């Protein structure tokens, strides 16, 4: 009888360890996600993909606990990260609102032993286990190669840039480097549109008044492209034969899918990178190597290729439920 009672106690103890909600159950792994507020289309996509990744991981692993916070300023984001530290997070995924003011607090997080994944906008000094971003020079290069081919190596282009910053410079310089190989293609003008639909509209209106003939427009960004297309439509002109944005907004991808004669392609700079970052944080904090990798650690730097979206593959990039 005593032996039976002892065996039952052991079984009950083992079961208690494995049962969620018991005092003996393992503590949940806490992952903090700090991202900018949805102040334009692409950051809206960032928020949507972060929520999607959290939902899917929560369904797969009940031992994970996520905290998603959004910030409309660098100061707010610094406070958010400090609050996440108080919650005792084991991993942090952060897309910095601005690199310089976020670097000290992220460095503090990293130095405390929290597994840290930085997305898109890098810090001004290394303070992360993993950095993941899109390929900014690749976006400019892929865009230029496709446009030059579509233009048969000749014609007049106007360019709308993003916010004056390192990311924008990398894209524009790579674009111009390709176009320099085509002496019959002229870049007539290039102005910053700040990745804004309204600025895209205003600058394109100016271009249309300034230049009698334009063959193609590189808008670099799909939010900007929407303003550009509106200005062109309202102008009543029909000389421009080619428009190209970037980032893979769902309504632009849908235009490509539907065979729009003016918007025949797009180039990715996917907001889904934040979802991948969350997956990397989960695997990194749990010391799980990536499938197919023979190394135990997650790669310290992940650069996502800029992919050309054309009618033949557009359906693979179309997410109708996304906000972007």
DSSP H helices in the chain = 2-18, 41-60, 74-86, 99-111, 136-150, 166-179, 197-210, 222-235, 250-257, 273-285
| 188 SS3 class | strand
Q: For 268, which DSSP code? A: B
CA-to-CA distance for 223 and 193, rounded, in angstroms? Answer: 10
User: What does the pLDDT look like over 62-107, one tens digit per residue?
Assistant: 999 999 999 999 999 999 999 999 999 999 999 999 889 999 999 9
Question: Which candidate, 68, 76, 85, places its Cα nearest to that of 34?
Answer: 68
**CA atoms of 224 and 226, how far apart (whole Å):** 5
CB 127 within 8 A of CB 102: no
* Interacting residues of 236 by C-beta distance below 8 A, sequence separation 6+: none
- d(C-alpha 246, C-alpha 134), whole Å: 12
Token pair of 231 as six digits: 């200005």
What is the SS3 assignment for 39? coil
Between helix 222-235 and helix 41-60 the angle, nearest 10°, is 140
Write out pLDDT tens, residues 187-229. Answer: 999 999 999 999 999 999 999 999 999 999 999 999 999 999 9
Contacts for 125 with CB less than 8 Å, ≥ 6 apart: 103, 107
Q: In which residue are the tokens 């039976």 written?
A: 4
Tell me the DSSP string of 68-137: EEEESSHHHHHHHHHHHHHTT-SEEEE--SSHHHHHHHHHHHHHTT-EEEEESS--SS---SEEEEE-HH
Q: List Cβ neighbours of 43 (8 Å cut-off, separation of 6 or more).
A: 35, 36, 37, 271
Domain ranges for the chain, please list them.
22-128+271-304, 136-267
Q: Which CATH architecture has domain 136-267?
A: 3-Layer(aba) Sandwich (3.40)
Mean pLDDT in residue range 106-127: 96
Q: For position 26, what pLDDT does the model report?
A: 63
Which pLDDT does position 19 carry in this prediction?
Answer: 45
Q: Top-level CATH class of 22-128+271-304?
A: alpha beta
Q: What value does the mean pLDDT take over residues 282-290?
A: 96
Look at residue 242 in the predicted model and tell me its pLDDT: 97
**CB neighbour list of residue 172: distance below 8 Å, 6 or more residues apart:** 140, 159, 161, 190, 220
The pTM is what? 0.85
pLDDT at 14 over 80: no
Quote the pLDDT of residue 24: 39
Alpha carbons 250 and 237: distance in angstroms, whole number: 26
- Euclidean distance between CA atoms 151 and 174, whole angstroms: 18
pLDDT in tens, 231-255: 999 999 999 999 999 999 999 999 9
Asked if 92 contacts 246 with a C-beta cutoff of 8 angstroms, the reply is no
């Amino acid at each position: 009888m005593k032996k039976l009672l002892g065996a039952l106690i052991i079984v009950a103890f083992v079961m208690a360890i494995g049962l969620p909600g018991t005092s003996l159950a393992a503590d949940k792994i806490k992952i903090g996600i700090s991202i900018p507020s949805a102040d334009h289309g692409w950051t809206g996509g960032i928020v949507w993909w972060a929520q999607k990744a959290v939902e899917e991981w929560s369904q797969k692993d009940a031992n994970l606990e996520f905290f998603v916070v959004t910030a409309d300023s660098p100061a707010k984001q610094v406070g958010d990260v400090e609050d996440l530290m108080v919650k005792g997070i084991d991993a942090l995924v952060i897309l910095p609102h601005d690199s310089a003011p976020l670097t000290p607090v992220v460095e503090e997080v990293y130095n405390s032993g929290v597994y840290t994944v930085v997305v898109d906008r890098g810090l001004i000094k290394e303070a992360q286990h993993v950095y993941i971003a899109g390929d900014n020079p690749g976006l400019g290069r892929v865009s230029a190669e496709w446009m030059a081919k579509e233009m048969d190596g000749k014609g007049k282009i106007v360019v709308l840039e993003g916010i004056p910053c390192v990311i924008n410079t990398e894209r524009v310089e790579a674009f111009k480097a390709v176009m320099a190989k085509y002496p019959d293609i002229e870049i007539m003008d290039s102005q910053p549109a700040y990745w804004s639909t309204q600025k895209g509209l205003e600058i394109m209106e100016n271009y249309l008044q300034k230049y009698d003939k334009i063959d193609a427009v590189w808008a670099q960004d799909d939010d900007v492209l929407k303003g550009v297309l509106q200005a062109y439509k309202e102008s009543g002109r029909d000389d421009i034969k080619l428009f190209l944005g970037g980032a893979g907004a769902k309504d632009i991808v849908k235009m490509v899918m539907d065979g729009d004669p003016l918007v025949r392609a797009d180039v990715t700079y996917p907001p889904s990178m934040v979802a991948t970052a969350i997956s990397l944080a989960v695997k990194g904090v749990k010391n799980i190597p990536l499938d197919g990798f023979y190394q135990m650690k997650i790669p310290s730097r992940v650069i996502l290729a800029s992919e050309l979206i054309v009618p033949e593959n557009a359906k693979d990039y179309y997410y109708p439920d996304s906000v972007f």
